[in-house]
Amino acid sequence: MTTATATIAYKVPKRRHPVLLFMTQQPLGAAGLVIIVAMCVCAAFAQWVAPFDPLTVDYAAQLARPSAAHWLGTDSFGRDVASRIIYGARTALAIGFIASLLGCTAGAVIGVASAYFGGKTDLIIQGVMDVLLSFPIIVLAITVVAVLGNHVVLGVDINLIIAIAEPMLPRVERVVRASALAIREMPYMDTARTADYSHARIIFRHMVPNVSAPYLILLTAFVAQTILAEASLSFLGLGVTEPTPSWGLMLSGAAADFYQQAPWMIVFPGIAISLAVFAFNLFGDSLRDWLDPKIQL
């Protein structure tokens, strides 16, 4: 008598791509991500997307209304508004991403180091952060720009990026430090100290990766604030200067003088700024909810 051996095949479910999973679980965040990707594509391929050169002056088309020739009209110099908005996305996104990456990364490293060393080191760092937090973001940025002036490298004002990144540093530091304080008491941290690992290895190998979730959330959230800060500084004449296409710069100068005769000079750049800020805020909030382990989807 023979006994047949039954074999049971277990099918391991295929893991979905994180991007697809995020888009299905966070539809509002996915909408914000689509807007961000569209803006990045337009900025990267502006020379092919924009219908005109944003720097070309055409006095014959001065203050032309929106039409088939000029989709969003022209400004007081006859420059195409749509082209300047598309090229202005380069300025906004470049400064936004670089300043956010610089400020959030520096704040995260300082916050982790402050939590790890503790004692007098933590006390001194928190005192410096308290001083920086006492200044409003725009006031501190204006002060830094006024003191440092302009220093353009590869078309990007380095001092402007520093001025925008500095105010967000203490805010990121506080949030990351709070997460790092809990990580410092974990058992594997005691094991790392017992193994006589260097402070740099413990900080960058064992602590920094575990605060990546709040870091990513703050990074996306602060991109929106950096875009607003750049637009505000450019509007005040302390940021990007003519003839560089910039959304904030398009709202200042001659645009304020022709707001009744040519309202499109103000309306469309304002919509671009609002849409960018809305998209990044929407994506940042959804990313926070998606990465939060306490939320069951």
State the Cα–Cα distance between residues 21 and 70, nearest whole angstrom: 40
Asked whether residue 148 carries a pLDDT value surpassing 70, the answer given is: yes
pLDDT in tens, 20-60: 777 777 888 888 889 999 999 999 998 999 888 888 888 88
Beta-carbon contacts of residue 189 (< 8 Å; ≥ 6 apart): 183, 202, 206, 207
Asked whether residue 296 carries a pLDDT value surpassing 50, the answer given is: no
State the Cα–Cα distance between residues 148 and 81, nearest whole angstrom: 31
pLDDT confidence of residue 154: 60
pLDDT confidence of residue 9: 58
- Mean pLDDT for 244-265 is 76
Q: Is the pTM of this model over 0.85?
A: no
pLDDT confidence of residue 297: 46
- Mean pLDDT for 82-107 is 90
Do residues 170 and 129 make contact, with C-beta atoms less than 8 angstroms apart? Answer: yes
Asked whether residue 4 carries a pLDDT value surpassing 70, the answer given is: no
Asked whether residue 5 carries a pLDDT value surpassing 60, the answer given is: no
